[in-house]
Amino acid sequence: MRFITEFRSSELAAGLLSQIRLKSRIPARLMEFCGGHTATIFKYGIRQALPATLEMVSGPGCPVCVTANADIDKAIALSQLPGVIITTFGDMLRVPGSRLSLQEAKAGGADVRMVYSTMDALKIANENADKSIVFLGIGFETTAPTIAASILQAKEKGIGNYYVLSLNKLCPPAIRAILDSGEVRLNGLICPGHVSAVIGSHPWGAIAREYHIPCVISGFEPVDILQCVSMLVVQIEKGEARVEIAYRRGVRPEGNLEALKLMEMVFEPAPARWRGIGELPASGLKLRGEYQQFDAELAFDIVTEPACEPEGCICGDILRGTKVPQDCPLFASTCTPEHPVGPCMVSSEGSCSAHYLYGGSLAG
């Protein structure tokens, strides 16, 4: 149970909260970028426990949530093609596109299957040689290496009916876009743990220097989050701006060199659409030329109608941190986890889902 109970210790949490309250004098707004952090913050009532000097806002850290409707529409269009099997992680099934979700497409007869890994998708390809298997490459730097590995394995084993619709996104460009926009004044960043386990701390160090904003990489338990906030407060009070790692059991400064090597071997940076932010250069990943035979976008003629957003949904504003779920006229009425209108209510890492499930109450 080590690394679980000790990072949920009420005694340790109380001590960190006491330190934060003692040190925090300058009003500051902190943004967490990771959806896993958002869920922990709400589940354990961390926002409510912090002193009034500190405000926390959620950023675009849920990969399901930031996937643009136009890209979801592409996946649905692929599912309508004869002989195509769509494979994807579970959350993507329920995310509404412009007109329907993959789950609704499946109910209408499309062959859409939930998988737990790219290896599951490769197995389906092996077992269905007469079909084209498309894996939806959703996620940040965390999932990209496993997708790269699946492409390398498909090439090595001659699996010619396996394709990837590459919708993976890179986190630092989105953080830069939010800071450049000036819509939300930020004084500190809680940087994502899983992403940083792959890319390391150096990309955040560059952001800290260029924007003069403290960056601390956090783990996912409540004590992790509070330690991260405490470290940010120290920097803010001292007028410092540098990157620190509060998640040393999972993150090294250089990152995971093998994972980075896989990513670089198979993918290259490309423009990507982010819900609520728009298209950002070099914020996505596309397959390099030698692996384009596995690129679903090149292999199939994908025809979609112009994308549109659900009327009244403000997921884009929520993802940028300019609004909170309670600002949305659909929140908790028309839009619920059982019947989501926007993607932020679908995933357990979505801000709307966290607000709906945990609200303003303190969890034990």
Domain-located, residue 363:
no
Rounded Cα distance between 151 and 156, Å, is 9
In a shared domain, residues 194 and 237: yes
Sequence-separated (6 or more) residues with CB below 8 Å from residue 213: 179, 186, 187, 188, 189, 207, 241
Report the greatest alpha carbon distance in the chain: 66
- What is the number of structural domains in the chain? 3
In a shared domain, residues 126 and 232: no
Domain-located, residue 241:
yes
Residue for token pair 């709307």: 352
In a shared domain, residues 156 and 92: yes
In a shared domain, residues 138 and 16: no
Position 117 scores a pLDDT of: 94
Residue-wise pLDDT for 34-55, tens only, equals 999 999 999 999 999 999 999 9
Q: Exposed (0-12), middle (13-18) or buried (19+): which is 51, by Cβ within 10 Å?
A: middle
Residue-wise pLDDT for 71-129, tens only, equals 999 999 999 999 999 999 988 999 999 999 999 999 999 999 999 999 999 999 999 99
Residue-wise pLDDT for 199-224, tens only, equals 999 999 999 999 999 999 999 999 99
What is the domain range of residue 323? Answer: 310-358
In a shared domain, residues 217 and 85: no
In a shared domain, residues 52 and 74: no
Residue for token pair 């609704």: 104
In a shared domain, residues 122 and 264: yes
Domain-located, residue 130:
yes
Number of H helices, E strands in the chain: 17, 11
